[in-house]
Structures are given as C-alpha cells and as structure tokens.
C-alpha cells in the first residue's frame, strides 16, 4: 500500500489527494475504458437496504440498486417493469396477491435465486422486530405459498401501493441462505445481491469499489469496475470532476453546473426529479401557534429562491405533491405574502421588535444550495418578525432525530417519492404514527387514516387532495420546491437521467 506523508498531502488539493490515496489502493482515478468513478454526495451507512431509518434515504438508492435488485424494476422514466418478479397482481376482489419469480437468476456467490428468497425477504420485511421502516406496508400481505416459481399470498389489509413499494425504498430481495448463515454483522462484511455489480472493496467514509456481475440477468453492465467516492462536500465534488479525478458527479451548485457543462471535455444534464425540498414542522414550542406556522410559510419567496439562488433550476411548490405526482392539485396555493405574515404574527403578539424564536436544522451540501437556501429563508423571516437560529447536521443525524421525534421546530429535508403516490409523500411525511413524520396531531391523522386502505382509486386520490388542502390551511409543513438534479460528466460518457434521482451506473455508457 502506498502512503503519503503530511507534507505531500498538504501539497496536493483535496480531490488530488483522494485520487492519490485511491490509486495507492489499486483504484484508478483517471477515466479508463473499463472503470467508472463517481464522486458521490453521501456516505453509505449500511449494506442492508431494508432496515434502519437510513434505508429510506433516497440518496443512497443509486448504490443499493446497483448491488441488489428490487422485486419489481423501475426505469429512469419511472415506469414499472419486470425485475426479479416477471408478473404480479391481485385477484379480482383483492383478497389475494400473486407473483411469478424470474427463472435463471443467480446470486453473486453463484447460487440460484429461488421463490423461497422472495418469500423470506417479504416475511422478514413484515416483521416489526426486523427493523424495516416500511414494515407497516409489508405486513399488509402474508401467508405466502410457493408452487415452483409461482407465489400466492393473502391480503391481510388492502394496501393500494403494496406492489409499488416493491420497486421503491426497502423493496429489495436479499439471499435467505447466505443471510441466515452469516447474520446481520456478517452480511455487512460480505453483502451479496443479484444486481449488476458486486462489492469488491469498501472503506467507510472513503469509497466503495464494485466489479461487474458477468452473470447478471439484464446483461453484463457497461463498465468492469465502478467506484463510488464518498464526497459529501459539494465544493470537493466540483474539484473531483474538474480535475479529472472522477468521471461523473451530481448535486453540485447550479452556478458550477452552468460553468462546468461548458468546459471542454465535460458535459452536463439537469432534469426535474421526484425529490422535493421541504421544511418539516414539529408540533412543539412556538410551532403550536397556527399564526406562526402560516406566517413562516407566507414569508418565503420561493420563486425568488429558485430564480436567484438556484438559477432557475427548480419548481416552487405549496404542497408535498409535486406537479408530476399522482395527487398534485394546482388549486392549493399558500402564496408569498409578507404583509399577511406580519399580520398573523402581530395577532399572536410577535413583531420585528419582539420576534417569534426557534431553531431550524439543515444539511449543508447534500443538495445544491441547501444551507444557502435556509440562510435566505431565515433572512426573509427576520423581515416579518421571526428569528431563527440555524443548526447544521448530517443526513444520518436527521434520520436519527426524526425517528425519535426530536427534530427542531423546523427542519429542512429533501423528500424522495419515486413512485409519485400521495401515500409516499404526504402520507408518510404527515401521518402521526409514521416514523417519518414530524407533525403528529389527531385532527390530521383522522383525515389520513381512512385513505390507507381505500379501494376506490378515484376516491382515494380525491381524499389525498383534500388532505393537502387541510395541511396548507393549517401550516403543518412548508413545501419549498421540486428539485432539478444537475449531473456533470466527461464528454466521452453518455448519461441517462433518472427521474427518481438515483444515478445508477447501469444507465451510464461510453459515448
């Protein structure tokens, strides 16, 4: 192993130093015909994509989708398609589910995928003690029976998004025999999936190196080796792509995106994705006052943030349903009105001389201009009579605090919803019993509760639209914008943008 002394390290830039470090471990940082290096925006906290709060992080799905396969696949255009299941559905009265397992698939250790792996994965996800954060979805079906490559099961509680989740967060198939043999700790040391790439080397907070799965059922992937460099700092990701140390990067500041995409040898694409930026409101302290919540919303000029701070890359929203979501309702508008914000605050005894005070938490560098956006919002709040202190945290800390219902009164987050259903946006973010919600009150739960099992699709979507309107009227959350994802890459590559935001190596080819 090659080592660098302190003086050598200081003489190198951050990106160059990391490149040299990786090179010393046998990893080529330069663009090679059979190697793809991605400067990635988050670390990988765990190799198990089905347990713990981090399993619901949309940012890590690019890696999980590369090593593992979903029950049901989803294309870059969000269309559902066969994955490890080739067919699926309900019977006519929706009392049973049925599935057909793809034949001829092998795990990374060469053993065959079986229907037993599918059932074991579903039953494991449904057990509360396993720790799957979407357990209450997976537990809606059970009593599975296997007949060759056919599986049937009972609907224990009708869940309209049951099959949608099979292509989404935690909807991955794991190897029964291997997992039971090595256990959770052993799986972290030797993760095995059926995906297009296999784990070759991993160093926490530094990199993940993958090698192509030559037996992948979808065909051999385009690169022999893929390296995910973990580079949470956006400025360092810019240095990575500009120096040539990485071949692809994402979620950099938009002014850097505009600059880099015009640099010789580089190219860029910016695509609206299903991620939205939002501010969670926790029902504590000053946020128990409806006037304060609504004032905080009315005081934010979202269009100015998108136009000036994000250089036009984004779509302002007033509900947790983005324009391409199933339950989007353009008639629900909160609106920018700082004078109204002042009036609402005055009604509760607050003013610029006597401001309402609270803390707002935010990530810094996870999404383009996330911290700067919160700085701008805090400035807008100050003008109407709200004084907010900014606290920066890592995304892992956000998940920890959210699960314990200990977020600050306001907390910025980017919410992904690749299946564009209202349950997976408004539902999980706002339903009190959900571990993903910050606002927890009975009035809202009474509206949301009956919608989970509604079999009439038209009535279900109308119900969610009514919930969005009620949330907006009461200021229970502050939606900000739908994100546009910037990706910069070497011009000898061809990158297919993914509307889910998951930058998967299988969608990157040599031009």
φ, ψ dihedrals at 204, nearest 5°: -50, 140
- What's the confidence (pLDDT) of residue 57? 87
- What's the confidence (pLDDT) of residue 118? 98
Average pLDDT (78-97) is 96
With tokens 């306001």, the residue in question is 410
Query: Does residue 443 carry a pLDDT above 70?
Result: yes
Query: Does residue 8 carry a pLDDT above 90?
Result: no
274-328 per-position pLDDT tens digit: 999 999 999 999 999 999 999 999 999 999 999 999 999 999 999 999 999 999 9
How wide is the angle at C-alpha 187 spanned by C-alphas 181 and 189, nearest 5°? 120
- Percent of the residues in the chain that have a pLDDT greater than 90, as a whole number: 87
When pLDDT is cut at 50, 70 and 90, the band that residue 54 belongs to is confident
- What's the confidence (pLDDT) of residue 348? 98
User: What are the respective helix, strand and coil percentages of the chain, to the nearest 5?
Assistant: 35, 25, 40
- What's the confidence (pLDDT) of residue 313? 95
Token pair in block for residue 349: 């005894």
- Percent of the residues in the chain that have a pLDDT greater than 70, as a whole number: 94
Q: How many CA atoms lie within 13 A of 309 on its CB side?
A: 22
| DSSP label at residue 70 | B
Q: Is 34 or 16 the better-scoring residue by pLDDT?
A: 34
- What's the confidence (pLDDT) of residue 119? 98
CA distance 440 to 429: 10
User: How many other C-beta atoms lie within 10 A of the C-beta of residue 379?
Assistant: 11
With tokens 């979903």, the residue in question is 70
Instruction: Catalogue all structural domains in the chain, each as residue range(s) with its CATH number.
Output: 6-49+179-271+486-510 (3.40.190.10), 67-177 (3.90.76.10), 272-484 (3.10.105.10)
Query: Does residue 438 carry a pLDDT above 70?
Result: yes
Query: How far apart, in Å, are the Cα atoms of 498 and each of 63, 418, 469?
Result: 14, 10, 30
- What's the confidence (pLDDT) of residue 435? 87
CA distance 301 to 438: 23
- What's the confidence (pLDDT) of residue 33? 67
Average pLDDT (461-468) is 98
- What's the confidence (pLDDT) of residue 58? 86
Average pLDDT (369-388) is 97
Token pair in block for residue 460: 């279900």
Query: Does residue 375 carry a pLDDT above 90?
Result: yes
CA distance 136 to 196: 29
CA distance 59 to 275: 10
Cα dihedral sign, 325-319-441-432: positive
When pLDDT is cut at 50, 70 and 90, the band that residue 421 belongs to is very high
| Mean pLDDT taken over the chain | 92
Average pLDDT (163-187) is 97
How wide is the angle at C-alpha 256 spanned by C-alphas 66 and 318, nearest 5°? 75
3 state SS for 183-252: HHHHHHHCCCCCCCEEEEEEECCCEEEEEECCCCCCCCCCCCEEEEEECCCHHHHHHHHHHCCCCEEECC
Token pair in block for residue 252: 């950099």
User: How many other C-beta atoms lie within 10 A of the C-beta of residue 97?
Assistant: 22
Query: Does residue 472 carry a pLDDT above 50?
Result: yes
Query: Does residue 491 carry a pLDDT above 60?
Result: yes
Average pLDDT (491-501) is 94
When pLDDT is cut at 50, 70 and 90, the band that residue 16 belongs to is very low
191-245 per-position pLDDT tens digit: 999 999 999 999 988 999 999 999 999 999 999 999 999 999 999 999 999 999 9
CA distance 461 to 423: 10
Query: Does residue 24 carry a pLDDT above 80?
Result: no
């Amino acid at each position: 192993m090659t080592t660098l002394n302190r003086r050598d390290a200081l003489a190198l830039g951050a990106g160059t130093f990391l490149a040299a470090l990786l090179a010393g471990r046998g990893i080529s940082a330069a663009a090679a015909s059979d190697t793809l290096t991605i400067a990635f925006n988050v670390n990988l906290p765990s190799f198990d994509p089905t347990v713990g709060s981090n399993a619901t992080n949309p940012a890590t799905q690019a890696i999980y989708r590369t090593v593992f396969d979903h029950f049901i696949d989803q294309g870059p255009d969000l269309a559902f398609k066969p994955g490890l299941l080739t067919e699926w559905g309900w019977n006519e009265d929706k009392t049973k589910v049925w599935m057909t397992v793809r034949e001829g698939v092998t795990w990374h250790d060469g053993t065959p995928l079986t229907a037993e792996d599918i059932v074991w994965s579903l039953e494991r996800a449904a057990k509360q003690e396993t720790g799957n954060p979407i357990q209450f979805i997976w537990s809606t079906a059970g009593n599975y029976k296997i007949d060759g490559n056919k599986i049937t099961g009972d609907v224990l509680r009708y869940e309209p998004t049951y099959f949608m989740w099979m292509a989404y967060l935690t909807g991955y198939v794991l190897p029964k025999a291997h997992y039971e043999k090595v256990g959770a700790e052993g799986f972290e040391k030797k993760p095995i999936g059926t995906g297009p790439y296999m784990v070759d080397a991993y160093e926490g907070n530094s990199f993940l190196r993958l090698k192509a799965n030559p037996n992948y059922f979808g065909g051999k992937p385009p690169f022999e080796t893929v390296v995910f460099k973990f580079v949470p700092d956006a400025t360092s990701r810019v240095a990575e792509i500009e120096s040539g140390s990485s071949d692809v990067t994402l979620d950099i500041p938009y002014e850097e995106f505009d600059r880099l995409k015009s640099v010789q040898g580089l190219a860029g694409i910016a695509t609206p994705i299903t991620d939205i930026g939002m501010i969670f409101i926790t029902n504590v302290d000053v946020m128990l006052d409806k006037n304060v919540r609504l004032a905080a919303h009315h005081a934010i000029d979202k269009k100015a943030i998108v136009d000036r701070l994000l250089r036009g890359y984004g779509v302002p929203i007033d509900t947790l349903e983005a324009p391409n979501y199933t339950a989007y309702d353009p008639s629900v508008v909160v609106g920018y009105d700082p004078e109204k914000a002042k009036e609402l605050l005055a009604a509760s005894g607050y003013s610029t001389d006597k401001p309402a005070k609270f803390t707002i938490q935010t990530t810094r560098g996870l999404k383009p201009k996330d911290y700067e956006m919160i700085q701008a919002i805090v400035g807008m709040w100050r003008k109407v009579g709200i004084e907010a202190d900014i606290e920066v945290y890592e995304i892992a800390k956000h998940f920890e605090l959210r699960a314990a219902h200990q977020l600050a009164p306001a907390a910025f987050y980017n919410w992904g919803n690749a299946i564009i259903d209202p349950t997976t946006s408004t539902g999980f973010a706002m339903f009190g019993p959900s571990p993903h919600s910050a606002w927890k009150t009975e009035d809202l739960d009474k509206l949301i509760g009956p919608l989970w099992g509604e079999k009439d699709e038209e009535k279900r979507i109308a119900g969610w639209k009514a919930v969005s309107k009620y949330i907006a009227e009461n200021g229970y959350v502050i939606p900000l914008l739908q994100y546009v994802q910037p990706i910069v890459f070497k011009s000898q590559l061809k990158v297919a943008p993914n509307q889910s935001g998951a930058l998967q190596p299988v969608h990157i080819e040599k031009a």
